[in-house]
Amino acid sequence: MERINPFLFYEFGKELHLLEQVTDLTTRQVFFPVWQAQGSMNKLLAGDPIPLGVSSGKARELLNRIDSLMALRFSTKNDKGEPMLRFPEDGDEPVNAWSVDWIKAAIREFETVFAEEMRETATYFVPRRGIYHTPALVDAADETFPEEMRAFIPQKAKDDWKAAGRCLAFSLLSASGFHVARAVEACLESYYQLFSGKPGETLHGWKAYIDALEKIAASNPTPCPLKKTLTELDQMREDYRNPIVHPRVVLSESDARMLFANGESLIIAMAQELAEAAKGIQTTLALEGGGDVKQLEAPN
């Protein structure tokens, strides 16, 4: 998936229109529209802003005619015999009308085919979801986490969170919920490893992690996982995580947005506890998924 700037189509059409409207055949009046159109057609044939399909043949024919005029009237050679651009000068003979008309005919042929191709091109508008800015939700959903907390969130959790944001933006609601659950579980894994003192150990599912953490919390060590966080994790497990693994469960937009907000809150809560623990524990916690390793050291 690639982001497209729709304004580029406007600029492209404007530059071709300038060339199509040329009536004054002096080299000073012809040069700029032809030179601009040449650059625009080169970019379009290179796939900017999108790759061409059936219209590429007409686009290439148009560019060839523009290149021919540029080579004939606006090209010269330097001392080494290399071709270079020649700007219009006073006293230049006017450009032949037939050569400009030849290009204009190619523009009309290209536009006819290009218009049909664009009608079949998939173009979508992504509406805003709640307060989230659409480009941020599509490309950088992990920036919703406070900057000072991001070092304590595993990279694989960030990756799933970005996928959750992208799915939410494009109304892939059940997929968004699935990625939210994966992101929370990735953070839960690191959360458990820290408070259990067992870096690298993984358990089978949320229930196993929560039960193990509740046993740790019951012994009241320092630091200790917060009961509030464990209660909210278990609630999310029952209300969302378990149901969404079943194909028959389909999330509505309201469900997906509530789950997204709930997941954000839980990840931040766990990251805050990891950050607090870093002030008083000496251990190594590997935040798997992207090579991040956070050394948690006791203060001197």
- Claim: this prediction has a pTM higher than 0.85: no
The model's confidence at residue 6, banded by pLDDT at 50, 70 and 90, is: confident
Q: Are strands 283-287 and 83-85 parallel, antiparallel or unpaired?
A: unpaired
- Those residues with Cβ within 8 angstroms of residue 209's Cβ, 6 or more apart along the chain or in another chain: 188, 189, 191, 192, 203
pLDDT beyond 80 at 263: yes
* 62 conformational bin, left if phi > 0, alpha if psi -120 to 50, beta if neither: alpha
CA angle 222–227–228, rounded 5-degree value? 130
Q: What CATH class does 7-120 carry?
A: mainly alpha
Burial of 172 (C-beta count, 10 Å sphere; 0-12/13-18/19+)? middle
CA distance 65 to 62: 5
Q: Where are the chain's structural domains?
A: 7-120, 134-296
When pLDDT is averaged across residues 32-55 and rounded to a whole number, the result is 94
Per residue in 95-150, pLDDT (tens digit) is 999 999 999 999 999 999 999 999 988 777 788 888 788 888 989 999 999 999 99
Q: Which backbone phi and psi does 248 adopt, to 5 degrees?
A: -75, -10
For the CA atoms of 32, 37, 38, 39, the dihedral, rounded to the nearest 10 degrees, stands at 90
CA–CA distances in Å: residue 194 to residues 11, 166, 276: 55, 30, 12
Longest dimension (CA), the chain: 95
7-120 and 134-296, same CATH topology: yes
Confidence of residue 239 (pLDDT cuts 50, 70, 90): confident
pLDDT band, residue 299 (cuts 50/70/90): very low
Residue 292's SS3 state is strand
Alpha helices for the chain (secondary structure H): 7-20, 27-45, 56-73, 97-120, 134-139, 155-169, 173-196, 206-218, 227-236, 242-244, 253-277
Split at pLDDT 50, 70, 90, the class of 257 is very high
pLDDT of residue 300: 30
Q: How far is CA 67 from the centre of its chain?
A: 36
pLDDT at 243: 79
Q: What number does CATH give the domain 134-296?
A: 1.20.120.330
